[in-house]
Structure 1
Amino acid sequence: MRLALGTSPSGPDSENEDFAAAAPGVAVLLDGAGVAGAETGCVHGVAWFSGMLGALLLRTLAARPAWSLVECLADSIRATRSLHEDVCDLGYRASPTSTVVAVRARDGLLEHLVLGDSSLLLVQRSGNCSVVTDRRLDEVGARLRGAVDELPTGSPEHAAALAEYRDALTSLRNRPGGFWIAGPDPLAAEHAVTGAVPLDSLASVTLLSDGATRLVDRFGLASWDEALAVLDSTGPDELIRRTREAEDSDPDGRHWPRGKAHDDATVLHWVLS
């Protein structure tokens, strides 16, 4: 297999809270999240959480081929929790969480799991591509965003509206009628979007955090086919560069309303043929 990985923090002085890694036949991508402006209740922080969970998940996927992806994620969440529940307040509303995308090649199939608003791009040898995304967070967010999208990104008014929005969003985290994301509760794994496709039908598999899908799904400056062409020709770094260029052209979010002017962006592109 041939892998290309690109990642970029939201800013030069910001910690990258995305995590991506691969081993033979397996790959994971996580996008960590907290509540902006709030203490997390975790002395380690969001980047530690997404990195630790990602590393444990990668190991479990490779070491436990008989386990389902849901079982692997639940076990990894449980193991991550055990590493810091004695020193961190994991019941706190702003405790770290993370999206998860995981794939594993096994028994002639490409198994996949998506939890939260990161995405998986599956490209067939025929050239057809499909995107697997957990839309529940987007659907809940659309109901709550209100003034967030009407105010200039980065303004004091926008910051206040964003804090109110995130507080409302947090109240619906890992609840029926809300959305599901990896946090301290292993049961969240049971709500992941899962599936499998024949491995020999695929040309490539791409895992993307939502900061790297903006060019397509928020800005509308490229189709998935065009994004794939960039990945195949010049790689993940170029796709991220184009995303940053678009973000820089609209710093106050007037043209493309969004919570953050820039976001951590990560792409793992796995070429199978």
Structure 2
Amino acid sequence: MRTELASEPGDADRPNEDFASVGLPASGQGGSVVVLDGVTPPRGGTGCLHSVPWFTARLGGALTELTVSLPDVPLLDALSRAIARTAEAHAETCDLSHPRTPQATVVAARWNPATVEYLVLSDSALLLESPDGAVTALLDDRLARLPRSALATDALVDATVRNKEGGFFTAAADPAVARRAVTGTLPRQEVRALAALTDGATRWVERFHEGDWADCFRLVRKEGPQALVDRVRALERADVERVSLGRGKRHDDATVVFVEF
């Protein structure tokens, strides 16, 4: 098995809000990948005493442990338990009902000799490569399908579409959100390799249109996850007029995990 991981903050002076892990059980009979992209809140209160990295470390750590220690529990149930465990850790000190309580996007994949199970919640991506080289992008595109008018201001997003029916969902403090994720299971023989990417890395496809998902996967396979992050950083620096970046951050935290079975 080959595993490679790269994760880089968008700003060297700020903590990386992404989380990534590869779990390999002692039995050697499978493994799991967990990738979270912490949602940077706007200036102002979040109702929480804790930072986004605090949250992603705990949620990601809990989800990693559960995917490995409870191999028969579906990923959506593992995510639900991880959210509940994390919420319990700060429920007494923080207002978890605040729309900007710490939260994150989630990608998880788990494999054993028979199957590959996956889960995607919000705008990170999971790419699967079949034995013939075909690449399938597993996406939760609810945020991308919203009209720009619905995303005009942070206040409007929080009031109308964030973790609301008809909008989009992230892992925050409500365990029930896990059932909003895109999930599925495939035969193990149909998957040769996979890559999980936060949206700071998917910019290569979605913002800069340097290639499609298959091109992106081939780049990661051939040159490694860090090469994709480096390409994105070069494109961000070159976009002086913000033609592709628009109102987005100049640089975002970027994480890529590659696994070849």
Which range, TM-score by smaller chain? over 0.9
> Aligned to 2:191, which of 196, 202, 212?
202
Q: Quick one: structure 1 residues 252 and 169, their matched pair in 2 at CA, closer, same or farther if it must change by over 3 Å?
A: farther
Aligned pair in 2 of structure 1 residues 77, 129: CA closer, same or farther (>3 Å)? same
**Could you tell me how far apart the structure 2 residues matched to 1:49 and 1:255 are?**
30
Letter in 2 for 1:119: A
CA distance 1:215–1:260, shift in 2 (3 Å):
same
Q: How far does residue 175 in structure 1 lie from its aligned partner after superposition?
A: 1.4
Distance in 1, matches of 2:65 and 2:82, equals 9
In 2 relative to 1, CA 189–255 (structure 1 residues): closer, same or farther, beyond 3 Å? closer
* Counterpart position of 2:177: 188
Match of 1:228 in 2: 217
Counterparts in 2 of 1:234 and 1:107: CA distance versus 1, 3 Å: closer
Contact 1:102 1:113 in 2 (8 A): yes
Measured after TM superposition, the shift of residue 145 of structure 1 is 4.0
Instruction: Please tell me the residue identity of whatever aligns with 2:207.
Output: R
**Corresponding residue of 2:246:** 257
Alignment of 1:98-113 (within 5 A): 98-106=104-112, 108-113=114-119
Contact 1:109 1:198 in 2 (8 A): yes
CA distance in 2, matches of 1:82, 1:127: 43
Kindly state the Cα deviation for residue 229 of structure 1 after the two structures are TM-superposed. Answer: 2.2
State how 1:19-34 maps to structure 2 within 5 Å: 19-24=19-24, 25-34=31-40
2:5 alignment partner AA? L
Question: Structure 1 190/255 Cα, relative in aligned 2: closer, same or farther at 3 Å?
Answer: closer
Total equivalences in the alignment: 254
Q: Could you list the structure 1 runs, at least 4 aligned residues long, displaced by more than 3 angstroms after superposition.
A: none
Per the alignment, residue 77 of structure 1 pairs with: 83
Aligned counterpart, 1:211: 200
SS of structure 1 residue aligned to 2:100: coil
**C-alpha RMSD over aligned residues:** 1.4
Unaligned 5+ runs, structure 1:
147-164
Unpaired segments ≥5 residues, structure 2: 25-30
Equivalent residue for 1:174?
A: 163
Deviation at 1:144, TM superposition (A): 2.5
Paired residue for 1:119? 125
TM (norm. structure 2) is 0.93
Residue 226 of structure 1: how far off its partner (Å): 2.3
The structure 1 residue matched to 2:255, chosen from 230, 243, 266, is 266
Residue range with higher mean Cα deviation, 109-118 or 251-260: 251-260
Q: CA deviation at 1:35?
A: 2.1
Structure 2: how far apart are the matches of 1:55 and 1:41? 23
Tell me the alpha carbon deviations over residues 127-170 of structure 1, each in whole angstroms, 9 at most, x when there is no partner.
10010110111222634245xxxxxxxxxxxxxxxxxx222112
SS at match of 1:213: helix
Instruction: Supply the distance in 1 between the matched residues of 2:244 and 2:123 (Cα, whole angstroms).
Output: 22
